[in-house]
C-alpha cells in the first residue's frame, strides 16, 4: 500500500507534536517552581505596595481632618480668647466636634486644641477611654510646650501639617492611648491676622490603623513597619517592636539584610528571603517598600513597610500549580496533535501568511502585499485584505492630519497663530510650578493696543487684522524662545517670561515691547501709528498664584492706559 504525502506529513506532525509536548511538559514542570516563586514574590511586593498606598492615604485623611478642625469657626475663637470651659459655649461646641469625628474614626485616640501661649496649655481635649469619649475637665488640662510636635507645629504656615515620629505615648492621663504606639498629626490654628494662635493635634492609634488595613490580607501574611533607622515599629512578635523604648535596639536590617539598601536610600523596594527567629527550619518570603513620611515636602523622614509569608505556603502552591500545568500541557498537546492531523497544508500556509501580514499591519501599519494566484475563497480573502490595508492606512493618515489640525486650532489664535488663552494659562501654570521648585521668578504682562479701533473704523477690518499679525510678529521678536506671547482676544495680548532674575529684567522686556509697538507700521500701503499700554506683575513679588498674578497684571495695564497709554506700569509702582 502506498501512502500519500498528506498521510506522511500527518504522521510526521503527530510524532513531532508528541515529542515536543512531552519535552515542553517536562521543562514546564521543572521550571515552574522558579517561575511561581517569582510570581509569589511579585504578588507579595504588589500587596505591600498597595498596603503602603493605603497607609499613605490614611495619613492624608488624618491630615485633612486636622486641617478641617483647625478651620472651624470655634477653633480660632477658643485659641485666641483662651477662654475656659465655663466661660463660653464655643468650647463645648468644639469638644462636640472632636467627639463627632472620633466617633467615626475609631483609630483616633485623642484630639486636642493646644494654645500657642501659656506654655502650650491644652484648651480643649477629648480622649478615648475604651468605648467612651471623655471631655477632659479644665483642671486636668496640661502644658505641652516642651513636646516636639507642639513647637514644630507652631512654626508652620496655614494648611501645613506636622507628623511626629512614631513612638510609645507616655503622656500621663492619655487614657486608652497611654503606652500605645501612636502618631501625632498636628496643624497650626491661625487668626485673621495670620498669627499662630495654637494647634490642633490628633493622636492616631498605629496598631488599630494597621489592624484595619491588613484585615483584607490573607491570614498567612505578616506585616512589618520600621522607622528610618530600622527600629521595628510593628512586628508579628509584639516584643520585637519599639525595642528602643525599652533601652534596646532591634533593627529590621539585621533580620532582612537587603532592607539595609532601602534605609541607605538605594532603591524603593526589595524582595528577599529570611529565616524567622522562632522557626529556623522554615524560611520566609518577604517584600519591603520605602515610603516617604512627614507632613512637608522638605521632610526627609521615611518608613519601611514590609510583608512576609512562610516559604512552605509558597512551595505548596508551586507544587500544586506545577501539577496543574503538567496536566494542562498534556491535554493541550493531545488536542494539538489531533488538530495537526485535520489541518491541510494548503489551508494553513496561506492563512499563516495572512495572519503574519495582519499582525505586522496592526503593530506598525506596515502594508504587506498578499499575492496568491488563487480564485477560491482564500484568494478572494487575500485580495480583500490588500484593499483593506491600503484603505485603513489612507484613513489613518487623514485622521492624524485632522487630529493635529484640531489640536492646533484648539490651542492657538486663528489669526496670528499665537497661543490662545487656554494654552497661555497652561504654560503659566507650568511656569509657576517650576518657579516654586526653583525659587525663581515669573513675569506676566497684559498688553492692550492704544488707538486700535480707529484703524478698523478708518481702513477696515482687513487692515486691522493685518495690523494684529504685525503686532504679534514684533512682540515675538522682543522675547526669548522660552517666553510665550499669546493673544487673548481683540487687541489684547499677554506675555509670559519664565525664569526672570529680577523685576528690572522683566521691565526691560516690557519697555522693549512698548517701544517696538510705538514705531510706525506700514499696512496695505498705509503708515499706521499705534501704541500699547503694558501692565507687569511678578511672581512671587506681587502674587503667589495664577489667578492673582493675572489680575494684578490686568489692573496694572489699566493703570498704564488711564495714565495716557504708550507706557509700562509695574505693580506696586
Instruction: Give tens-digit pLDDT for 266-301.
Output: 989 999 887 654 443 467 889 999 999 876 667 788
Question: What local confidence, expressed as pLDDT, does residue 60 receive?
Answer: 93
Task: Give buried/exposed letters for 454-488 (b at 16+ CB in 10 A, else e).
Answer: ebeeebeeebbebbbebbbebbbebbeeebbbbbb
At residue 3, the pLDDT reads 60
The residue that leads in pLDDT, 430 or 313, is 430
Of the given ranges (6-20, 158-172, 206-220, 244-258), which has the lowest mean pLDDT? Answer: 6-20
Count how many residues are written for the chain: 573
Query: Is residue 200 predicted with pLDDT exceeding 60?
Result: yes
Measured in whole angstroms, the distance separating CA 353 from the mean position of its chain's CA atoms is 45
Grid cell, residue 221, equals 501574611
What class, spelled out in words, does domain 1-343 have in CATH? alpha beta
pLDDT at 550 over 50: yes
CA–CA separation, 48 and 54 (whole Å): 10
- In what side-by-side order are the strands of the sheet with 222-226? 232-234, 222-226, 302-310, 284-292, 269-274
Percentage of the chain modeled with pLDDT above 90: 50
Burial (CB < 10 A; 0-12, 13-18, 19+), residue 147, is middle
| Catalytic site includes residue 491 | yes
The pLDDT of 217-241, averaged and rounded, is: 90
Instruction: Answer whether residue 548 shows pLDDT above 60.
Output: yes
For residues 293 and 7, is the Cβ–Cβ distance under 8 A?
no
Mean model confidence pLDDT for the chain? 85
Q: Is 269 left (phi over 0), alpha (psi -120 to 50) or beta?
A: beta
pLDDT tens for 470-504 read 999 999 999 999 999 999 888 999 999 999 999 99
- pTM score, two decimals? 0.53
Under the banding of pLDDT at 50, 70 and 90, the label for residue 559 is very high
pLDDT of residue 169: 92
Which among 127, 205, 231, 491 is annotated as catalytic? 491
445 vs 536: CA distance, rounded Å: 5
- Per domain, the residue ranges of the chain are 1-343, 349-409, 421-570
Q: What class is the 421-570 domain?
A: alpha beta
Lowest mean per-residue pLDDT among 118-132, 324-338, 406-420, 480-494: 324-338
State residue 316's pLDDT score: 75
Distance CA 340, CA 10 (A): 7
Cα separation, 146 vs 201, in Å, equals: 15
Q: Is the pLDDT of residue 378 over 70?
A: no
User: If you average pLDDT over residues 532-548, what whole number do you get?
Assistant: 94
Q: What is the structure's pLDDT at 26?
A: 65
Amino acid at each position: 500500500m502506498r501512502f500519500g504525502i498528506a498521510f506522511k506529513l500527518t504522521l510526521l506532525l503527530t510524532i513531532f507534536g508528541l515529542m515536543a509536548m512531552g519535552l515542553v511538559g517536562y521543562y514546564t514542570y521543572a521550571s515552574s517552581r522558579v517561575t511561581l516563586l517569582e510570581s509569589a514574590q511579585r504578588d507579595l511586593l504588589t500587596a505591600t505596595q498597595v498596603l503602603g498606598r493605603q497607609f499613605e492615604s490614611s495619613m492624608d485623611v488624618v491630615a485633612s481632618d486636622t486641617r478641617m478642625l483647625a478651620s472651624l469657626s470655634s477653633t480660632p475663637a477658643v485659641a485666641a480668647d483662651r477662654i475656659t470651659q465655663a466661660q463660653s459655649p464655643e468650647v463645648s461646641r468644639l469638644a462636640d466636634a472632636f467627639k463627632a469625628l472620633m466617633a467615626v474614626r475609631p483609630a483616633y485616640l485623642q484630639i486636642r486644641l493646644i494654645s500657642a501661649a501659656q506654655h502650650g496649655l491644652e484648651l480643649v481635649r477629648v480622649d478615648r477611654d475604651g468605648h467612651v469619649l471623655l471631655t477632659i475637665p479644665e483642671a486636668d488640662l496640661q502644658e505641652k510646650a516642651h513636646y516636639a510636635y507642639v513647637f514644630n507645629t507652631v512654626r508652620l504656615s496655614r494648611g501645613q501639617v506636622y507628623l511626629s515620629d512614631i513612638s510609645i505615648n507616655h503622656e500621663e492621663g492619655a487614657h486608652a492611648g497611654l503606652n500605645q504606639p501612636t502618631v501625632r498629626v498636628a496643624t497650626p490654628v491661625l487668626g485673621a491676622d495670620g498669627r499662630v494662635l495654637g494647634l490642633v493635634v490628633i493622636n492616631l492609634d498605629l496598631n488599630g490603623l494597621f489592624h484595619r488595613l491588613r484585615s483584607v490580607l490573607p491570614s498567612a501574611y505578616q506585616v512589618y513597619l520600621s522607622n528610618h533607622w530600622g527600629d521595628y515599629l510593628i512586628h508579628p512578635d509584639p516584643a520585637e517592636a519599639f525595642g528602643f523604648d525599652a533601652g534596646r535596639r532591634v533593627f529590621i536590617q539585621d533580620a532582612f539584610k537587603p532592607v539595609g539598601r532601602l534605609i541607605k536610600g538605594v532603591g524603593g523596594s526589595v524582595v528577599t528571603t529570611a529565616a524567622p527567629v522562632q522557626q529556623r527550619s522554615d524560611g520566609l518570603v518577604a517584600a519591603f517598600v520605602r515610603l516617604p513620611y512627614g507632613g512637608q515636602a522638605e521632610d526627609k523622614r521615611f518608613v519601611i513597610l514590609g510583608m512576609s509569608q512562610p516559604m512552605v505556603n509558597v512551595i505548596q502552591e508551586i507544587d500544586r500549580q506545577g501539577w496543574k500545568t503538567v496536566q494542562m500541557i498534556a491535554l493541550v498537546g493531545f488536542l494539538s496533535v489531533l488538530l495537526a492531523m485535520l489541518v491541510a497544508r494548503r489551508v494553513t500556509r496561506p492563512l499563516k501568511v495572512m495572519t503574519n501580514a495582519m499582525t505586522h499591519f496592526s503593530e506598525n501599519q506596515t502594508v504587506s502585499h498578499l499575492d496568491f494566484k488563487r480564485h477560491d475563497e482564500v484568494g478572494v480573502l487575500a485580495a480583500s485584505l490588500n484593499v483593506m490595508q491600503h484603505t485603513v492606512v489612507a484613513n489613518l493618515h487623514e485622521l492624524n492630519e485632522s487630529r493635529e489640525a484640531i489640536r492646533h486650532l484648539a490651542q492657538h489664535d486663528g489669526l496670528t497663530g499665537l497661543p490662545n488663552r487656554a494654552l497661555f494659562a497652561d504654560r503659566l501654570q507650568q511656569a509657576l510650578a517650576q518657579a516654586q521648585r526653583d525659587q525663581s521668578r515669573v513675569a506676566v504682562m497684559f498688553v492692550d493696543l492704544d488707538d486700535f479701533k480707529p484703524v478698523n473704523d478708518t481702513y477696515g477690518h482687513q487692515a486691522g487684522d493685518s495690523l494684529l499679525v504685525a503686532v504679534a510678529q514684533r512682540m515675538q521678536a522682543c522675547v526669548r524662545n522660552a517666553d510665550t506671547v499669546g493673544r487673548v482676544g481683540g487687541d489684547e495680548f499677554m506675555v509670559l517670561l519664565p525664569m526672570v532674575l529680577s523685576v528690572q529684567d522683566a521691565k526691560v522686556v516690557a519697555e522693549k515691547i512698548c517701544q517696538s509697538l510705538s514705531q510706525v507700521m506700514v499696512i496695505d500701503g498705509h503708515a499706521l501709528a499705534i501704541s500699547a499700554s503694558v501692565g507687569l506683575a511678578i511672581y512671587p513679588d506681587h502674587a503667589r498664584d495664577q489667578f492673582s498674578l493675572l489680575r494684578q497684571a490686568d489692573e496694572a495695564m489699566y493703570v498704564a492706559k488711564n495714565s495716557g497709554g504708550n507706557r509700562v506700569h509695574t505693580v506696586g509702582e
